[in-house]
Structure 1
Amino acid sequence: MALLERIIKLTTNPGAVVLDPFCGCGTTVDAAQKLGRSWVGIDITYISIDLIIKRLQATFGQSVMDQVVVDGIPYDMQSAQRLFEKSPFDFERWAVSMLHAQPNERQVGDKGIDGVRRFIIDSTTVGKVLVSVKGGKTVPPTHVRDLVGTVHNARDAQLGVLITLNDTLTRGAQEVIDTSGFWTHPANGQDFPTLQHIAVRELMAGHRPNLPTALAPYISAQRGIEFVDQGKLFG
Structure 2
Amino acid sequence: MTVVRRAHERGITTLALDAPERRNALSARLVGELADALTECGKDGDVRAVVLTHTGNTFSAGADLRDPPDPDVLVALLRRIVELPKPIVARVTGHVRAGGLGLLGACDIAVASQEATFAFTEVRIGVAPAVISLPLLPRLDPRAVARYYLTGERFDAAEAARIGLVTAAGEDADDVLAPVLDGLRRSSPQGLAETKRLLTAKVLDTFDRDAADLTALSARLFSSPHAREGMTAFLERRDPPWVR
TM-score between the two structures when normalised by the length of structure 2: 0.27
Q: What TM-score does the superposition give when structure 1 sets the normalisation length? A: 0.27
Give the structure with the higher percent strand.
1
Q: Which has the higher contact order (CA 8 A, sep 6+)?
A: 1
Which structure is higher in helix share? 2
From the CA coordinates, give the structure whose radius of gyration is larger: 1
